[in-house]
Amino acid sequence: MKSYTKESIDELVESIINYQVKENQFTNSPVTFRDITQIKEIFKERLINIYHARIEYPKED
């Protein structure tokens, strides 16, 4: 299983959404840059929660 860090998740979300902004994919939507910033933070929080480090418990014999 691939390990994700807070930094790698931040970079991923930033690169995807920044690419979409650069490509004018939000031009015809009522989304503001403030909205986009909030959306980025929500995505980051959710992904960090999904991919947080799991505690490895000892196997029972």
Q: What is the pTM of this model?
A: 0.77
Looking at residue 18, its pLDDT comes to: 97
Question: How many domains does one find in the chain?
Answer: 1
Q: How far apart are CA 2 and CA 18, in angstroms?
A: 24
Is the residue at 39 inside a domain? yes
What's the CA gap between 61 and 15, in Å, rounded?
Answer: 46
Binned average pLDDT, 10 residues per bin, the chain of 61 residues: 84 97 96 97 95 77 69
Domain span at 45? 6-50
Tell me, yes or no, whether 55 lies in a domain.
Answer: no
Residue 28 lies in a domain: yes
Length in residues, the chain: 61
pLDDT score recorded for residue 29: 95
Tokens 């799991």, residue located: 54
CA angle, corner 42, sides to 36 and 43, nearest 5? Answer: 90
Looking at the domain assignment, is residue 58 inside a domain?
no
Is residue 56 a part of any domain in this protein? no
Quick one: pLDDT at residue 37?
Answer: 97
Is 61 domain-assigned? no
Q: Per the domain annotation, does 41 fall within a domain? A: yes
Q: What is the reported pLDDT for 1?
A: 47
The answer to whether residue 19 sits within a structural domain is: yes
At what angle are helices 6-22 and 33-50 packed, to 10 degrees? 150
